[in-house]
Amino acid sequence: MTFNKIYMKEWLDNQPYNHAGDCDAYYVNLANQLIAKLYDRRIKYLQDASFCKKIAIALSSYFEDILSGGMIWNSFTGKNNELYNKQVPFYNTEKYYKDEPNLADICFLIWFYLVSEQNRFINPFHPAIIERAQICCKILEHEYETAPENTQWKDFFSSGKQDFSLSRHYDPCAYWIYWHSYLTAPSSKKWTKYIEESFRKEQHHYTPAEQLYVIQDMCIDFMYQYPCGPLALYAHEWMEQVTGIGAYEEKGPREELPQGEHHLYTDLMKATQGEPIVFFKSYAQLNKFLSLDMGWGGKEEHLPHLRNSAYFVLYANPQKGMLIAKDVAQYIKTPENPFYDEKEAEENAFGLLVNPGMCPIDLVLHIFSENLIPELHIGDIDPEDCRSLIKEWDFIARCFLCEYYRAV
């Protein structure tokens, strides 16, 4: 396998500044050392030289980051530790050393780049991931004592160097973290096609000179409205994690939830005699319940777009009212659910965590927090690994459902 060399221009495309400093040549050379070490025939994308190059740049950027203040990486491990009481998902962090290269970090980065590229779940314990990470980790450990700190990198995120109370300083930093940092770029890149489609509808209104600024403004608006991985945070939330500085004005999507209990929540709880969840095998059963028990009345069909679906779940939520899921009742094990199918649940219920829109997030969180799916298979992953992975179901949902996860 021949690997194309990484040159300075490509490296700077992934940096928060445009001109090479004293340290950049070192980290470019390090990335070039790592490319060939990532090649592995056991995973399709690790046979792709251009993809190995992406990961090599990410690993060299990670190393640069932890040696220069850890602005990006420490923001991730700190937030993950706050949420899940461990620095890095999946991997053993009992012997974890902040601001030093850790095997768990490198394993996670390789895994995250792979799942972001393939848009599907991959076993984090795949031997190819572990072995490639071990080789790369040894290189970084060998370089650790002599590698240079990049003050140019550090200064970019420093509130002592920039006044983040001003939009002209805050937005460019948040923009780079969200769209270009080695940690978030694999996730945020999926949004570029939506921005391109939106721009094409409007571009005839602008001169060629104006179009670049319009796209940039669209990207800025977008990053405050849609979260990105691996922790499904909005740009201003990543910014606060990295710099410790809150937004200069209120950011993020604004959704006004009704005050008090939603009337559909009250009606559903009354119809089920206090049970927050109810199951139906067929549309006819669902429609009858809505007509009679919920008091919707009439001879017409209710929610006719669901006519060709089955295995419904209604879930009562105090703020949102009544949430409806189709084709999931067979996965949920409760004494009240006669439609539970153990085999179906084992083979397919993992999709609830990784397929956006398959089920309302409030119901997903209820199902897994209450352990209503006792046993899961994840593709051909070893059952012991499956049990270990399911303990981290909430992170998996955050990472894969992203904006759907934040809809809670």
Terminal alpha carbon distance of the chain: 46
Q: Which residue has the tokens 């059963």?
A: 285
Walk across the sheet containing 312-317 and list its strands. 277-280, 312-317, 321-325
230: cis peptide before it, omega within 30°? yes
Co-location of 180 and 283 in the same domain: no
Q: How many domains does the chain contain in total?
A: 3
- One domain, residues 150 and 212: no
Q: To the nearest 10°, report the CA torsion of 46, 47, 52, 54.
A: -90
Local confidence pLDDT in tens for the 408 residues of the chain: 667 899 999 999 999 988 998 899 999 999 999 999 999 888 888 888 889 999 999 999 999 999 998 889 999 999 999 999 999 999 998 999 998 999 999 999 999 999 999 889 999 999 999 999 999 999 999 999 999 999 888 888 876 667 777 788 888 899 999 999 999 999 998 888 888 888 888 777 888 878 878 888 888 888 999 999 899 999 999 999 998 887 777 777 766 666 788 999 999 999 999 999 999 999 999 999 999 999 998 778 999 999 999 999 999 999 999 999 999 999 999 999 999 999 999 999 999 999 999 999 999 999 999 999 988 889 889 888 898 999 999 999 999 999 999 987
- Residue 107: C-alpha distances to residues 91, 123, 135, 343 (Å): 8, 11, 11, 32
Nearest to 340 by CA among 269, 277, 248, 384: 277
Same domain as 280, residue 400: yes
Task: Let me know whether 127 and 174 are in one domain.
Answer: no
Distance CA 348, CA 2 (A): 40
User: Which of 118, 136, 154 corresponds to the end of one domain?
Assistant: 154
Strand pairing partners for 325?
313
Rounded CA separation 219/226 (Å) = 10
Please give the residue range of the domain that contains residue 12.
8-154
CA angle 181, 167, 244 (to 5 degrees): 55
Residues 168 and 211 in one domain: yes
Contact 59, 109 (CB under 8 A): yes
250 within domain boundaries: no
179 and 114 fall within a common domain? no
CA dist., res. 47 & res. 336, Å (int): 49
Distance CA 353, CA 24 (A): 39
